[in-house]
A and B are shown apart, each in its own frame.
Chain A
Amino acid sequence: MRYATRIAVGPVQFRIGSDWRAPIAAIERLYAGYPRDDARPADAAVRLFAARPWRRWLRPSVHIGGDFTVPDALPLPLSMGLLAAEMGMNLQVALGWRRHLLLHASAVARDGRALVMSGESGSGKSTLAALLGEEGWRLMGDEFTLVDPVSGDALAFPRAVSLKNAAIGEVAERVAPERLGPLLARTPKGDIRHLIPRAEAIAAMHEPARPALILFPRFGGAAAVEPMGEGEAFVRLTEASTNYVALGEAGFATLARLVRETPAFAVSYPDSASGRALVEGLWAEAVR
């Protein structure tokens, strides 16, 4: 491909190729603080390409592909090339990664123990993880959490946090401006702005953390905490995993161990402050 770069997020080495310079330049700016090993072969390849040669210039639109491509996925305008790269990276990990059980969940860690938060888009798991990551927790990731089938530990995937809509303002007022990416307005997922994790979180990205608490957050409604049984947590996490079925018995054993050893709760919270307070309370119980 005409332009290319490589980045490592957690255990995954990506190479990203593009027909345009802009998305590569944007991703290199965002990931400038990440460790980089250009000699290491890539685990996953992302391609950002024009469907027809003339579409590189004429109404340029970015198709997302790579090792895995979703047929008929709609392209993005070139101005959202950074989002295209992010979606391409997520796609490759979601469909291709087999070394660990992959949970669609955010995670933060403290004292070597992990808090895993799983929920649909809009549940607040990303925002909560980003905010906790600014207040004494190590951000492990806002999108994927990897669970090692051998040790049962959680592994970090600390890509740049994808802040959406109202969360952008809420986080932006707490962090230095150089830690924020460009504002991508009115994308198909709403307004998006990326947050670069703190340097300590990036430096510690290869350190595993033993899961201590699983939360299923829901933003909105009165503050509430509901303990969740192993069975329900198990089923909800199978739904949150993109490779549970592909891992077969190893996936089952890993997830069964996770829910047996880790207390789980469904939590609702009306705003971030009460969400963080709930988390701190449950965490104090869990690690006691």
Chain B
Amino acid sequence: MTIDRRKFFKSIAITGMTIIGVNASGAPKAKSEDEETEFYGILYDSSICIGCQACEKACAKAHGLPEPTDKPEVGVVRKTSENQRCVLNSYETSQGEVYVRNQCMHCNEPACAAACLTQAMYKTKEGPVIWREDKCMGCRYCMISCPFDVPKFEYGSTNPKIQKCDMCYDRIIKGEKPVCVETCGDALFFGTRRELVAEARRRIAEIPELYIDSIYGERVAGGTGYLYLAPVAPGELGFDTRIQPSSYPALTKGFLYSVPSVFILVPTLLLGIHEATKSRKTKDENHD
């Protein structure tokens, strides 16, 4: 009987260690990928965009989605949906009417990918954050976690998909540009993130009266693959100003890192208390 019990504890310990091991191995892997590769991204220049919706239409066609029928209008906020991966919006700002494109931001440290328990949401080493249908179980935790409210779920389907911009990942690995960039004249600029930041800085320096001196996406949510040049602050362009400047997955880091210590300390403590109370009880019995 004692051997059985010992064996049992051993198996518990092994199970516990696998969980710890699994949890511990996740973080450093992502980091080394970060260092090796350069993420691709897209720079959107709102001073060039004329709101023609050519990118929206090309996107819908490329991904088998219905062509959008509504137009960007001041005062109407269009949102991405399960039928539309990107939208253009128009805002009346202190600098006149400004167009803004909304789609997945392709964060450097995406909350959706950190949230996903099957790695269906996945930050590729090329930069795009993609969704992989065969892995997804449809829990929608990515939607809870994404600060930009990007992933959209097909509630009307019995085999629902998550719809979101994937930066045309299939084209990027073939060496092509995303369809929106391909279609657009000049407002969208594709390149590695480093190039994009340099290009954005250059534009700001060249025509400072056209832009505010800040690139939206350079720091927000820990940095995003999509970068914005605009004449006004992001708050005027429908962006949620409460989105924090640092990484979202970092918010759960403390909790996840405490797991291994809990797995070691709590059982030890419990066994200790169990042993302590046991000896006291036998003493009591001896007195009887």
**A and B: interacting chains:** no
